[in-house]
Amino acid sequence: MIYILAALLPPIGLLLNGQPFSAILNLVVIVICVIFGLIFPILFLVPSAHALIAVHMKREDRRHREVVDAIRQHGPPPGYPR
């Protein structure tokens, strides 16, 4: 759901994902893309792409932290080389 929101309303998707600085940067990118998008229409996709990549990276970071915390709490998995 957050990916759909990030694709359609990038700054709001980033804010709801807990990334206020990325949302501000995305607003700046939107303004720049609106100005230059009249010449290069493909630029209208840049803010959405930025939001999707930022949301994905944040979710992967959270998942990585969960795995690291589980390893710290329970130890490495059986058969893990040391």
Around Cβ 32, how many Cβ atoms within 10 Å?
13
Q: In the prediction, which pLDDT does 27 show?
A: 96
As given in the structure block, the two tokens for residue 62 are: 């959270």
**HEC states along the chain?**
CHHHHHHHCHHHHHHHCCCHHHHHHHHHHHHHHHHHCCCCHHHHHHHHHHHHHHHHHHHHHHHHHHHHHHHHHHCCCCCCCC
Written as one letter, the residue type at 15 is L
One digit per residue, pLDDT tens: the chain, 82 residues?
Answer: 999 999 999 999 999 999 999 999 999 999 999 999 888 888 889 999 999 999 999 999 999 999 999 989 998 888 877 6
